[in-house]
């Protein structure tokens, strides 16, 4: 009887202690192996090209382009890629945005350990996996502010999130390989759609919606 090859996993998270914890958890199984680690979305490209993992577990909030943009780029380059987002964000609009970008799973970092293992196995076998708490949040009727956020395009939402994190137009443009003029255009669209007037308003709005921490 041929030996079954373990599921290969790459971990992408900017906190080394988090990666260590996930790696130890995953390697308590006999059918899943961690074959690579990265601390940002940019480095994940090289690992995916070099290692061709079965599953990528991706944090959302990271330096550089961030997890959402990384997921979008990886999926556009290879629509068959299987990514599980593992994040602190349990409420909309993050789940819808991340799954829309191509992720096959969405887990809260508060999930029980077995959920991570189940998610890896489920996504590897061709399914999807969304943690129970996130499903509950996604089923809620959106309020006026959430509806406004949902009007943003994927690119506008990414720019909005990065502005809310305190990044300048120059930094965002460099990270996303876009001109500063384009970033300012996206910023203007965000402010118009959300009816905001200043960068401070953007930050305050994001804090109130739980998109960034105050």
pTM assigned to the model: 0.77
pLDDT tens across 135-166, in order?
777 766 555 555 677 788 878 888 888 888 88
**Which pair of structure tokens corresponds to residue 137?**
């949040």
Rounded to an integer, the average pLDDT of 66-93 is 89
Q: Which residues of 108-143 are buried (b: 16+ CB within 10 A; e: fewer)?
A: beebeeebbbbbbbbbbeeeebbbeebeebbeeeee
Total residues belonging to the chain: 214
pLDDT band with cut points at 50, 70 and 90 for residue 83: very high
Residue 36 has pLDDT above 50, yes or no: yes
- pLDDT 10s digits, 94-128: 888 899 899 999 998 888 888 999 999 999 999 99
Give yes or no for a contact between 134 and 110, defined as CB atoms under 8 angstroms apart: no
Q: Nearest-CA neighbor of 54 among 80, 30, 28? A: 80
Residue 22 has pLDDT above 80, yes or no: yes
Task: State yes or no: pLDDT of 214 exceeds 90.
Answer: no
CA gap 165, 161 in Å, rounded: 6
Q: Would you list the DSSP string of 175-199?
A: HHT--HHHHHHHHHHHHHHHT--SH
Which pLDDT belongs to residue 89?
85
Residue 160 to residue 11: CA distance in whole angstroms: 26
Domains (range + CATH), the chain: 7-138 (3.40.50.2300), 144-208 (1.10.10.10)
Give the pLDDT confidence score for residue 1 in this predicted structure.
46
> Among 32-46, 51-65, 75-89, 148-162, where is mean pLDDT lowest?
148-162
- Which own/partner contact pairs does 109-117 have at CB distance under 8 Å and 24+ positions apart? 109/18, 113/25, 116/22, 116/25, 116/26, 116/57, 116/86, 117/25, 117/26, 117/29, 117/32
β partners of residue 72: none
């Amino acid at each position: 009887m041929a030996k079954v090859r373990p599921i290969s996993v790459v971990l992408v998270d900017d906190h080394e202690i988090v990666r260590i914890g996930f790696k130890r958890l995953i390697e308590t199984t006999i059918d899943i192996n961690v074959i690579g680690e990265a601390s940002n979305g940019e480095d994940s490209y090289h690992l995916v090209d070099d290692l061709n993992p079965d599953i990528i577990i991706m944090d959302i909030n990271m330096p550089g382009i961030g997890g959402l943009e990384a997921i979008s780029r990886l999926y556009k380059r290879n629509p068959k890629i299987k990514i599980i987002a593992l994040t602190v964000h349990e409420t909309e609009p993050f789940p819808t945005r991340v799954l829309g970008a191509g992720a096959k799973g969405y887990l809260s970092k508060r999930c029980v350990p077995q959920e991570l293992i189940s998610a890896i196995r489920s996504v590897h076998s061709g399914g999807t996996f969304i943690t129970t708490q996130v499903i509950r949040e996604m089923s809620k009727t959106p309020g006026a502010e959430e509806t406004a956020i949902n009007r943003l395009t994927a690119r506008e939402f990414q720019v909005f999130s990065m502005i809310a994190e305190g990044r300048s137009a120059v930094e965002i443009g460099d990270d996303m390989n876009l001109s500063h003029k384009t970033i300012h255009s996206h910023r203007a669209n965000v402010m118009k759609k959300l009816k905001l007037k200043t960068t401070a308003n953007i930050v305050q709005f994001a804090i109130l919606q739980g998109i960034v921490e105050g």
